[in-house]
Structures are given as structure tokens and as C-alpha cells.
Amino acid sequence: MDLAQPLRRPLTVRLATPRGFCAGVDRAIQIVERALEKYGAPVYVRHEIVHNRHVVERLRDMGAVFVKELDECPDDRPVVFSAHGVPKAVPDAARQRQMFFLDATCPLVSKVHVEAERHHAAGRLILLIGHAGHPEVVGTMGQLPPGAVVLIETVEDAETFVPPPGAALAYATQTTLSLDDTAEILGALKRRFPELPDPHKEDICYATTNRQEAVKRLAEGSDLVLVVGSKNSSNSVRLVEVALRAGVADARLLDDASGLDWSWFEGVRTVGITAGASAPEPLVQGVIDALSERFDVTQVDDAGERETVTFKLPRALTA
């Protein structure tokens, strides 16, 4: 044995199951990839297709052009709407310009849109639990006329909201919220307005739920939890919050292995690793590889929900 080489400290790495891409993200990325294959570059994408820097950069290198608004797109090239959904005014404007567009909105976000429209048609004022400015919230509120949806961001909002006299109420939620935070907000609303009808099915999506449950399991036996994902990814940020709430001493969000800070690992024997729903699996492997260079890593795959959900691509891309 080379005595000049110090023994590497052992580190147990627990990998969450499930982690990373969900069906909605996978579908949205495939839509951009297939559009580039079928129609050639450039293909325009309104907003980031999903909230992950690496995904966006790879698609940009393939010929996707990411824009903030539709008026930045030419009339004669395909345009894709992001997985988060868009206000109704966006496809309406595209139709007026006779543009060819592909809607990559996650079907579970579309479900929330349909629920909101159903409540509005029934004359109910909709309370939307979510984060101001998030593209999904902007898209959901933009399905209906101004004033038809009231945004509720916090328990305080739920406690202080005053409905118009005689208003019938309903609620919907952003699909990527923390289950626990949403339960607190909804608890306050239901206490004040017990007649609030529940959605036909939970708005917070299966992938968000599964990843939050998985990170709670990681938190129970880990000294540190690492969440691979971008800072503008709501579901990734929520995973850090859920891990801390579940009792782990420290939890960190990082885009990739370059974001590792070795000071985080002082006294750490077990690290849990997960990834947000828009983070590619190679980024997770990159973090494990970086840890393996520094520590004597033992990898353990946590048992969890195995996801088999898939969503169909638009017919224009499969015909």
C-alpha cells in the first residue's frame, strides 16, 4: 500500500427513489427535440421549457431559441409553449398570426386549468394557492378573466382574505408546492370557509408528492441532503424545504457537481441525494462521481414509488 496516500473517509450515499425527470418534463423536452428533428432549427420556445439550466442549454445548442414573449418569434417558425402552461391570450395571439405552435403544458397543469374553468362557469370565485410570478400560476390565472382568481400565497393570506358578499368559493393549487405548506394554507381556508369543494383529484401532482415523500425518508437517516436542481425550479426548492422540515441537519440545492462545497461534509457520515423533477439523471451521477473521488463511497438505493406514468406527444409530432 502506498503510505503517501491517506485513507479516504467512508461516506454512505443514499439515493432517493423516485428522483429526477417526471412524465410532464420528459414529454416537454421530447416535444422540443422532435420539433427540431421534424422542422429543423430554429424552433422557438416561449419561456424555459422546464426550469433547469442544463436542459435549456442543451436544447439551445440543438437549435432551440428561448424567448420571453410571443412577439419575439417570427410567424414562419414553430413555437413551443413551456411545460408550466400559458395564459389563454398566448395561443389566441398565435392563432391570429397563423403561427404553428406546440403546447408542451404538462397534462396535470392542464387539469388544473380545466378545474378552474369549471368553477368559473359555475359562478365560483377561485382561490389559487401558489407563488406569485411563477409561470404556472401566471398561466392558470390567465385562463380566466381578471378578478376571477385570487392568489393565496401564505397562511396569513388565507386568514385575511375577505370574499365579496355572497360569493361562492372554490380552490386550486399550483402543482409543485410543498404538501405540508399547502395543507396548512388549506386548513386555514377550510376552517373559515368549510363549504369549499375539493378538486376531483389532488392538484399537487403525483411526481411532486412522490419526490417529497422520498426526501422525507432520506432526511430521517441522513446527516446532509443534496437536491440536484436549479434555483428557479419550484419543486426542487420545495425538496430542500421538505428535507429540513423532516429533521435533517442540513440540506442544499445545487445545479451540478460544480456546486459542491466540501465544508458541508464536515462530520457527515451519510448523505442523501435526490433531484428535482426537471433535473437530468447524469447530473446526479456527476455528484456521485465527485463524492467518490474524495470519499470511500458506499451507494444505497432507497426503496420508493416506481413511476410508470407517460404522456402522449402532440399528434403533429407523431404523424
One-character DSSP codes across the chain: --TTSPPPPEEEEEEPSS-S--HHHHHHHHHHHHHHHHH-S-EEEES-SSS-HHHHHHHHHHTEEEESSGGGS-TTS-EEE-TT---THHHHHHHHTT--EEE---HHHHHHHHHHHHHHHTTEEEEEES-TT-HHHHHHHTTS-TTSEEEE-SHHHHHH--PPTT-EEEEEE-TTS-HHHHHHHHHHHHHH-TTPPPPSS-SS-HHHHHHHHHHHHHHHH-SEEEEES-TT-HHHHHHHHHHHHTT-SEEEEESSGGG--GGGGTT-SEEEEEE-TT--HHHHHHHHHHHHHHSEEEEEEPP-PPP----PPPHHHH-
10-21+206-301: CATH topology: Cobalt-precorrin-4 Transmethylase; domain 1 (3.40.1010)
Q: What is the pLDDT of residue 2?
A: 47
Selected from 3.40.1010.20, 3.40.50.1100, 3.40.50.1440, 1.10.260.40, the CATH number assigned to the domain covering 108-192 reads 3.40.1010.20
Q: What is the pLDDT of residue 201?
A: 72
* Residue range 37-84, pLDDT digits in tens: 999 999 999 999 999 999 999 999 999 999 999 999 999 999 999 999
Catalytic entry in 115, 117, 136, 159: 136
CATH 3.30.420.40 fits 23-106, yes or no: no
The answer to whether 23-106 and 108-192 have equal CATH topology is no
User: Is 136 tagged catalytic?
Assistant: yes
Please provide residue 45's backbone torsions phi and psi, each rounded to the nearest 5 degrees: -130, 120
Q: What is the pLDDT of residue 6?
A: 58
List the end-to-end C-alpha distance of the chain, in Å, as a whole number.
62
pLDDT < 70 positions in the chain = 1-6
Domain-by-domain residue ranges, the chain? 10-21+206-301, 23-106, 108-192
